[in-house]
Structure 1
Amino acid sequence: MRPSPPRPRHSRPRPRPRPRSARALLGALFTALTALAALVTVAPAAQADTTLCEPFGTTTVQGRYVVQNNRWGSSGTQCVTATNTGFRVTQADGSVPTNGAPKSYPSVFDGCHYTNCSPGTNLPARISGISSAPSSITYTYVGNAVYNASYDIWLDPTPRTDGVNRTEIMIWFNKVGPIQPIGSQVGTASVAGRSWQVWQGSNGTNDVLSFVAPAAIGSWSFDVMDFVRATVSRGLAQDSWYLTSVQAGFEPWQNGAGLAVESFSSAVRTGGAGPDVPGNPGQPVACEVAYATNVWQGGFTAEVTVANTGASAVDDWRLGFALPAGQRVTSAWNASLSGSSGAVAASGLGHNARIASGSSQTFGFQGTYSGTFAKPGGFTLNGSTCTVR
């Protein structure tokens, strides 16, 4: 079904003062037409968010991912509104028993789901040929509902783009209410640097392996392949199988209005790039970095601008650098930072994960230092050395 068209925004023009003469009228008209022409030339057209209320309605966000309403377990109305970087649940009527399946899975995805493939995706991809699959998300939660916030990752022996896959991996970032994953808990595991409860079972058509966080995670950047490899090690998939989609959203049982994915990014890197280089594999990057600081006794802020001086866009950029001894990051904005001292890597978020050719992205962080303050000696963008200005 087609998604609802965007609703245009309307504004009422201001009344103009009445001119006192024909000459004044002509002058005023000329001025108004000139201003109108400038406005039409300069101002971009406003674009409203798209709201989906059809059970399986979809739309595209960021030009790269598909947002889906995906209501299948209840007759109650559910609506999601796609935003520039994700979606929010704006209506969530109805409820289902908490000892059964959820009523829906409103979500955003990279890959292919029931013949619907996201723009430009390289999925399905053979697991053995994937070096890394970096993804990041920021959730907004509500308290007056029963739901989980979860990734849904699908694997199959064939590169299928339709129907149900053989194995489903779920990553529960949050759980509210008396609900549990399919099957039973079979142990605990450390995956991607975090501890998880591990549940295993089957829903009758596919195997399900679930990783449940012991406490809510609101925002995280991680490598999806860490969970895929953990699934292969448990015998629920093989390296010759295919990763077909990476999805993120919510499974609500009761209510759910207000839940939101504020930002989402996903990439699947095949070929020569290693797991620490989630950039364009095998392609050198041309880049330039500006590092501006404000320093006071014992503390500093840094504003970092990363410019792509090459001919191709850089997707899912990752800027690596080493903080001098005695420096430590305490907070950051407009990027996700891994590491707080020594070797540090900054990655783009959902809204700024791409650096177009000739463009740049800027992020910043605050930190502390001891001794004499110094700037990092060099920077690498997705493994390629950048010039510093």
Structure 2
Amino acid sequence: MRHLHTLIIGALLATGLFAAPAQAAPVLCEKYGSASIQNNRYIVQNNVWGASTAQCIDVNQSGGFTVTQSAHNNGTGGAPAGYPSIYAGCHYAACTTGSNLPMQASASGFGGLRSSVSMTYPGSGTYNASYDLWFDPTPRTDGQNTGAEVMIWLNRQGSIQPIGSQVGTANLAGSTWQVWYGNIGWNVISYVRSSTTTSLDFSINTFYSDVVSRGYGERSWYLTSVQAGFEPWIGGAGLAVNSFSFGSGGSGTDTSPPSTPGTPTASGTTSTGTTLRWGASSDTGGSGLAGYDVLRATGDAFTRVGTSTTTSFTDTGLSPATTYRYRVQARDGANNLSPQSAVVTVTTLSGGGPGGGCAATATTQTTWNNGYVIQPVTVTNRGTSTLSGWTVTFPLPSGHTITGMWNASYTVSGGTVTARSNGSLGPNASTSFGYQATRPNGNTQVPSGYTCG
């Protein structure tokens, strides 16, 4: 299976047979040969983990390599022969200098991390040209990462495909990508570009924000390495990384803001919450959309009340019978901000009497690989008069399905779940309901943003 090379390299390190990268090694023909360049700023690795056929790479001390010999003939239904590549960060205890990796994806500096690459492709062979971004739940510098492997395919030649199956599409870094997901002991999320390119300059956060929004990664995880290279199945001579960079700001500077988001619309408004949706922005500056800021005002001044990596947001904890105004602003991977959208005005429902409204709080009882139970969802009448009935709404993450709900009836529309009870609820009284749901394997999300009315 692809990426078993990581296990092999770990064993070689443990036995002392894998030496630290040498400073000067212009041609590498050893299966796991590697060389540090630019005073160990980057490491180039031959990395023939999936075949016994010959492969040699000519290391470019300026920041790349060329595959000069490649006799591979692997079947396209199986694993590639290897992953000749250049990287920054830590890969099985071989760490570069000055990368600041591992870095937690919630760190303030994470949004400024960029990488760029320029490649050359031969006219024959079966291969992909791809980035490999590794994430681990811990700041790991050695061993196998167990969080997420994010692959960014700039090109593919021949009848090959990523691990798993296609789960959607995404518009990132100025292009459209197929999104694939599989799990081989860790989450593998692959982005396959709709049109071939020989170069890419992007913000790491552009792709990882999409990974997190799909539930395949966590902000608490650490980026451990950024790698760029090729996975050859057949042939591969002539593949080349002409240049590679990684760091804060990368090799290019994106100063172009995204376009203005569409005017928000509101739905599912209750006494304490509302759900906003808007038209997507586009980004042509190269760093790609990173998300949206949601701005709210009750007077003249707008303040940010939340962020979203999709084109919707549920605002909770609002006051009953109160008018709010909302705008949305897009943000790209270089933290450029778009113009603010037009305003939508929302007035919450009156709720259950003076000081009224109702509140809903949810507890996750248990989770497993592809499902969970939420119980109890506690509904409390905060007013001074009886509620003749109540509704609780919450967004259901993409790919999730409710398989049962008790002590309430429910409907699902456009990804929003509405739970209802026709029974009355006295002042300051509480009741509860629960439900069970399924989710895609490897997805870590559970619903949030419950509103009651």
TM-score, scaled to structure 2: 0.50
> Secondary structure of 2:209's partner?
helix
Higher RCO (C-alpha under 8 Å, 6+ residues apart):
1
Q: Please give the alpha-carbon distance, in whole angstroms, between the structure 1 residues aligned to 2:227 and 2:205.
A: 14
1:156 partnered with 2:156: no
Q: Within the alignment, does 1:260 sit opposite 2:236 as a pair?
A: no
Query: Contact 1:4–1:52 at 8 Å: present in 2 too?
Result: no
| Alignment-mate amino acid for residue 56 of structure 2 | C
C-alpha distance in 1, partners of 2:167/2:196? 21
Q: For 1:172 and 1:103, locate their aligned partners in 2 and report how far apart those are by CA, in whole Å.
A: 17
Residue aligned with 1:131, SS: helix
CA drift of 1:62 comes to: 2.8
Q: Are residue 189 (structure 1) and residue 165 (structure 2) matched?
A: no
Instruction: Provide the residue aligned with 1:244 in structure 2.
Output: 224
Does 1:87 find its partner at 2:50? no
Is residue 68 of structure 2 the alignment partner of residue 101 of structure 1?
A: no
Superposition pairs of residues 199-210 of structure 1, within 5 angstroms: 199-203=180-184, 205-210=185-190
- 1:198 lines up with 2:176 in the alignment: no
Please tell me whether the aligned partners of residues 134 and 221 of structure 1 are also in contact (alpha carbons under 8 angstroms): yes
Instruction: Write the mapping of 1:1-389 to structure 2, written as runs, cut at 5 A.
Output: 1=18, 50-63=26-39, 64-83=41-60, 84-129=62-107, 130-165=110-145, 166-203=147-184, 205-267=185-247, 269=248, 278=249, 316=251, 318=253
Alignment CA distance shift 1:319-1:179 (3 Å): closer
Equivalent residue of 1:227, what SS? helix
Q: Quick one: distance in 2 between partners of 1:89 and 1:128?
A: 37
Instruction: Check 1:319–1:128 CA distance in 2 against 1; reply closer, same or farther (3 A cut).
Output: closer
- Distance, in Å, in 1 between the alignment partners of 2:176 and 2:239 is 25
Aligned to 1:162, the other structure's residue is in SS state: coil
Residue identity in the other structure for 2:66? R
For structure 2, list consecutive stretches of 5 or more residues without a partner in the other structure: 1-17, 257-283, 287-333, 336-453
Paired with 1:147 and 1:317, the residues of 2 have a C-alpha distance of 28
Contact 2:155 2:193 (8 Å CA) reproduced: yes
Partner amino acid, structure 2, of 1:79: C
* Residues 320/127 of structure 1: CA separation in 2 closer, same or farther (3 Å cut): closer
Q: Which residue of 2 aligns with 1:290?
A: none
Deviation at 1:94, TM superposition (A): 2.5
Query: Does the 8 A contact of 2:201 with 2:251 survive in 1?
Result: no
* Distance of aligned partners of 1:162 and 1:98 in 2 relative to their CA distance in 1, 3 Å threshold: same
Name 2:320's counterpart in structure 1: none
- In the TM superposition, residue 216 of structure 1 has moved relative to its aligned partner by 0.8
Is the 2:105–2:220 contact (alpha carbons within 8 Å) kept by the matching residues of 1? Answer: yes
CA distance in 1 between partners of 2:175 and 2:199 (Å): 13
Alpha-carbon offset, residue 320 of structure 1: 6.3
User: Which amino acid counterpart does residue 28 of structure 2 have in structure 1?
Assistant: L
Say if 1:228 and 1:318 are closer, same or farther in 2 by CA, change over 3 A: same
Partner SS, residue 35 of structure 2: strand
Preserved contact between residue 55 and residue 72 of structure 1 (Cα < 8 Å): yes
Paired with 1:57 and 1:137, the residues of 2 have a C-alpha distance of: 22
- For 1:184 and 1:134, locate their aligned partners in 2 and report how far apart those are by CA, in whole Å: 28
1:187 to 1:316, Cα distance in 2 relative to 1, 3 A: closer
Relative to structure 1, is the Cα distance of residues 319 and 132 closer, same or farther in structure 2, using a 3 angstrom cutoff?
Answer: closer
CA distance in 1, matches of 2:252, 2:155: 27
* Contact persistence 2:53–2:72 (CA under 8 A): yes
Q: From the superposition, tell whether residues 158 and 90 of structure 1 become closer, same or farther in structure 2 (CA, over 3 Å).
A: same
Residues 143, 176 of structure 1: 8 Å contact kept: no
- Number of aligned positions between the proteins: 239
RMSD (CA atoms) = 2.5
Q: Is the 8 A contact 1:151 1:248 kept in 2?
A: yes
Per-residue deviation, 1:118: 1.1
The letter for the 1-side match of 2:37 is V
C-alpha separation in 2, matches of 1:88 and 1:242:
30
CA shift in 2, pair 1:134/1:5, >3 Å: closer
Aligned pair in 2 of structure 1 residues 189, 316: CA closer, same or farther (>3 Å)? closer
Could you tell me the TM-score, scaled by structure 1's length?
0.58
